[in-house]
Amino acid sequence: MYKIITASSDNYITNKYIDNFRVTDANAGSAGTLDLFKLYNESFSTDDSLVELSRLLLKFDLGDIRELNQKKCSINHPSFNVTLKLFDVYGGQTTPSGFHVRLYPLSQSFDEGRGRDIVKYRDLGSSNFITASILNGNINMWNSLGANASGVLNDENIDIISTGDLEDGEGEVNLYKDVYFKTGKEDLEIDVTKIISGTISGLIPDCGFRVSFSPDIESDNSTYFVKRFFSRNAQNPTKRPQLIVKYDDSIQDYHKSMNFNVSGSLFLNNIVNGEYKNILSGSTTNPGTLEEVSGDDCILLKVFTGSYEKYITGSSYSLGEIKYKGVYSSSFLIEKYDDLLVDHINNSGSIKFTTVWTDLSEKTFYHSGSFTVYDNNISSFSNSNRRLVISITNLKKEYLKNSIARFRVFVENVDKIVRYVKIPKEKDSEIFYNMKYAVIDVDTNQYIIPFDKNGRSTHLSVDSDGMYFDIDTSSLPPKRIYKIAFLLSDIGEERIFTKTASTFRVI
């Protein structure tokens, strides 16, 4: 799953000189941009300081990640990843280059404010360079001007957290993150997985982030003006500050495409009245009562054909510590050169197997089915790619905001040899286990959800009906037209398919 969460509040605070006075009490919370700058000896100084600078404050509502951690994917799962992204604003202005930006988790909350004036900074309010927030009439000051009191996690009287022990066995670690800007025109992208995981676990205060130039930049004798990002008040909703949450929730079932000598997984679902429920089985410890079938090695799968049979245990499907109710899987391979199979394989190239799912004692029957195992695709040498046509079979014109939309994918191989039969036969889709999707804004041609080439958050799932994927429509700004693209590694070549007749909009 690839999920985008936009900022719930943001601001930038500054001690800039305007008309020979520092505007430390100014607020820019409703401005359309987040301006990061540092000036050295550029203005008349009345306080013996030659430095003027700004720092960015950002906050995101983590409610969806908390729900995710309870129901779908544990924050401790290896595939769980969170990135903070700010989009560059470049309009021909002078931009610094060759600098580092540093992100810290905030130790106290801030008010966004309603200030818009970024020329004279005449809009006063909290938050600003002096004040963090005003709560119930109480003014909460930064412990050091510009939210600059740094310390260890759980220290008192600090504004930003530099180090801490997150109880993950690593001991005390740095909680700040640095990113380098070579040209100064890049977007900001920082991995904040460790910070978000610590926040969801209750170890780090849920106060947001401070983004600023690195300490060596803030203290040197140079000017850096101005690195500008879109704020959450930007007119284009696709450019607002984002937390990008990625995790692998793809399920790849091999009922449709199992090969000899290659390990694959078979899945079993138990759905009761439209909801996934754990199978109920007779209790082995309390006869006459029912207990849920759940956990590791909790179910038995028998695979057989003729005199050949194989037993494999299955487990509840899980992502980290989160176990999915009513979903079970069993992984195995079938050896091509087994004495009981090899003659049949040499003659036909494939074998149909029967499957039976039972309890561990084989006394209680749950489900029976079948699948066919095919010989590996060995042929004369050819580098020609297949001509593939991709479509979405259940596409709707509109999808509701804040819903999970499931898309079914059908891939036709135009070059596939057609074997004619006398009775009607439904055509099967080609199955690919390395296929990814992306979502593109039709008007701007911008990738809103890009192909996750280094991870599996946009990987297609496979079940006994074919390929599919889910999109969380809260990630897509409404009232815009989108289309789906696909990425496939086919015979050593990376291929992108954009002409898939898959346009839709979110309402």
The string of DSSP codes covering 331-347 is EE---TT-TTTHHHHHH
pLDDT digits (tens, 9 = 90+) for 295-306: 999 999 999 999
Same domain flag for 101 and 225: yes
Residue 298 within any structural domain of the chain: yes
Same domain flag for 232 and 281: no
Residue 379 within any structural domain of the chain: no
Residue 47 has pLDDT above 80, yes or no: no
Residue 413 within any structural domain of the chain: yes
Q: 205: closest CA among 153, 257, 255, 271?
A: 153
Task: Quote the domain boundaries for residue 482.
Answer: 388-506
Q: Which of 190, 211, 246 is the last residue of a domain?
A: 246
Same domain flag for 77 and 226: yes
Q: Provide the pLDDT confidence category of residue 94 given band limits of 50, 70 and 90.
A: confident
Same domain flag for 350 and 463: no
Q: Provide the pLDDT confidence category of residue 347 given band limits of 50, 70 and 90.
A: confident
Residue 385 has pLDDT above 80, yes or no: no
Per-residue tokens: 376: 């590996």
pLDDT digits (tens, 9 = 90+) for 465-487: 999 999 999 999 999 999 999 99
Least confident segment among 57-61, 99-103, 347-351, 418-422? 418-422
Residue 253 within any structural domain of the chain: no
Q: How far lies 405's CA from each of 290, 455, 473, in Å? A: 35, 21, 7
Same domain flag for 171 and 29: yes
Same domain flag for 100 and 122: yes
Same domain flag for 179 and 38: yes
* Direct distance between the N- and C-terminal alpha carbons of the chain, in angstroms, rounded to an integer: 21
Number of domains in the chain: 3
Residue 174 within any structural domain of the chain: yes
81 contacts 246 by C-beta, under 8 angstroms:
yes
Q: Which of 352, 374, 396 is the last residue of a domain?
A: 374
Same domain flag for 80 and 180: yes
Residue 439 within any structural domain of the chain: yes
Specify the pLDDT at position 417. Answer: 57
Residue 381 has pLDDT above 50, yes or no: no
Supply φ then ψ for residue 373, to 5 degrees: -100, 130
Residue 420 has pLDDT above 90, yes or no: no
Q: Provide the pLDDT confidence category of residue 20 given band limits of 50, 70 and 90.
A: confident
Residue 424 corresponds to which amino acid?
A: P
Residue 98 has pLDDT above 50, yes or no: yes
CATH at 269? 2.60.40.10
The four Cα atoms 26, 29, 32, 36 give a dihedral, to 10 degrees, of: 60
Same domain flag for 285 and 228: no
Using the CB atoms, write b or e for 463-502: b if 16+ within 10 Å: eeebbbbebbbbbbbeeeebbbbbbbeeeeeeeebeebeb
CATH at 498? 2.60.40.2840
Same domain flag for 347 and 395: no
Same domain flag for 365 and 399: no
Q: Which of 217, 246, 275 is the last residue of a domain?
A: 246
The DSSP 8-state label assigned to residue 88 in this structure reads B
- Residues of the chain above pLDDT 70, percent: 94
Q: Provide the pLDDT confidence category of residue 48 given band limits of 50, 70 and 90.
A: low
Residue 65 has pLDDT above 80, yes or no: yes
Residue 382 within any structural domain of the chain: no
Q: 372: closest CA among 264, 233, 284?
A: 264
Same domain flag for 351 and 465: no
| Signed CA dihedral, 211, 216, 217, 219: sign only | positive
Q: Where are the alpha helices (DSSP H) in 201-318?
A: 215-219
